[in-house]
Amino acid sequence: MKLQAQTLACERGGRQLFQGLEFTLTGGEAMLVTGRNGAGKTSLLRIICGFIEPTCGRIRLHDRPEACSIGQLCHYVAHEDAIKSALTVRENITFWARFFGAGDVEAGLAAFGLGPLAACNAGLLSCGQKRKLTLSRLKLVNRAIWLLDEPATGLDATAQHRLCRHMTHHLAAGGIVIAASHTQLDAPFTVTLNINDLSAGMT
């Protein structure tokens, strides 16, 4: 499996965020995306998901099942938590497990140790716990590409450790991870992409 970006350019609000962006990732490789605020890290992740159309260039995924779009093979963890406060932790996870198809609820609960909190209302969780709940989605269903936007926000050291362990397992199984992060992540990143260098006018 190979994920390839060719001469990607992105424009938001009339401003050219980056141009000429290229990368190739094979299964088992991870990429860290860095850059200042507003540089276009989130936009790059959303382009890969298929939400935004790049102004120029394209994303290609080689050796993928015919009927799937790239987005359907991604796990996208955004800034927003996608959690319903009126549902319990277990109900939140069960919904996403059912929505993404035959997900493993217990694996999701165990991913960040949320088992004891399973019956709690998600609205009562702290920020960090909500982030853990969001990230548990990654272990519900197996999807090849992980797109993580600031995943470590609000996580304590143990949780960060767990996240990196999950990322390592995923890479070992042949998956791809692309993470946009300010904080240090202790995972085996193969490539680092700094978007600052690709803004308009500089290559």
How far apart (Å, rounded) are the C-alpha atoms in residues 128 and 46?
24
Q: How far is CA 71 from CA 27, 46, 49, in A?
A: 16, 9, 4
What is the C-alpha to C-alpha distance for residues 172 and 189, in angstroms, rounded to an integer? 12
The piece of 80-88, 154-162, 163-171, 190-198 that touches other proteins (CB under 8 A) is 80-88
User: C-alpha angle with apex 90: 88 to 91, nearest 5 degrees?
Assistant: 65
Q: Which stretch binds other proteins (CB under 8 A): 85-93, 172-180, 181-189, 190-198?
A: 85-93
What are the tokens at 108?
Answer: 């999701």
Binding other proteins by CB under 8 A: which of 6, 23, 95, 142?
95
Token look-up 């995924």 returns 61
**Is 100 near other proteins (CB under 8 A)?**
yes
Tell me how far, at minimum, the Cβ of 71 lies from other proteins, in Å: 5
- Contact call for residue 65 and other proteins (CB under 8 A): no
- The reply on whether position 101 binds other proteins by CB under 8 A is yes
Q: How many CB atoms lie within 10 A of CB 192?
A: 10
* Candidate list 18, 76, 146, 189; residue touching other proteins; CB under 8 A: 76
Interacting residues toward other proteins by CB under 8 A: 13-16, 46, 49-53, 71-72, 74, 76, 78-84, 86-87, 91, 95-96, 98-101, 200
